[in-house]
Amino acid sequence: MIRYQLACEHEHAFEAWFGSIAAFEKQRARALVVCPQCGSTHVDRSPMAPAVVTGKAKVSAAKAQPDNANLAVHSGTGAELQKLKATLLENSEAVGERFAEEARKIHFNEAAPRSIHGQASFDEARGLVEDGIPFGVLPILPSERN
Ligand SMILES: [Zn+2]
């Protein structure tokens, strides 16, 4: 037996049991399925209740997104990196090989606070890290590799 949720043309909802969908169709065709409220034989199965979509899938997708976003930033196109690098260089003073020295002076307030860029050896960079002096390393872009 299958329980069907039915409704007549006047949207009177009711339930009825049928042996099969074929049995239901057959009885309906013969006007044997009657609305208990108004006697109408224009009866059909009610539309299915809309499926409930929980937010769970979306939440987990949103949680996963920050990682993806970071990935997108790190794997930015060469053009984007080039632009970013150009902006950084434009807005900072070129100090060349005195970078580590200047960075240290700025950090210890021995020089005017400003953004600088230049070159540092591996040892110099390590020294800055050890002294807790913040600095960033600019990527060497594919277009600059020759
Ligand atoms: Zn009815």
What confidence score (pLDDT) does residue 125 get?
Answer: 86
pTM summary value: 0.43
**Backbone Cα Rg of the chain:** 37
Q: How many C-beta neighbours within 10 Å does residue 47 have?
A: 8
CA of 26 to the centre of ligand 1 (A): 19
pLDDT of residue 68: 39
Ion ligand 1 contact residues with beta carbon within 5 A? 8, 10, 12, 35, 37-38, 40
Span 1-28, pLDDT tens digits: 788 889 999 989 998 888 888 999 999 9
Interval between CA 13 and ligand 1 midpoint (Å): 7
- What was the pLDDT predicted at 40? 94
Q: Which residues 6+ apart lie within 8 Å of 14 measured at CB?
A: 6, 7, 8, 35, 36, 37
**Share of residues in the chain with pLDDT > 70 (%):** 73
Name residues of the chain where pLDDT drops below 50: 49-75
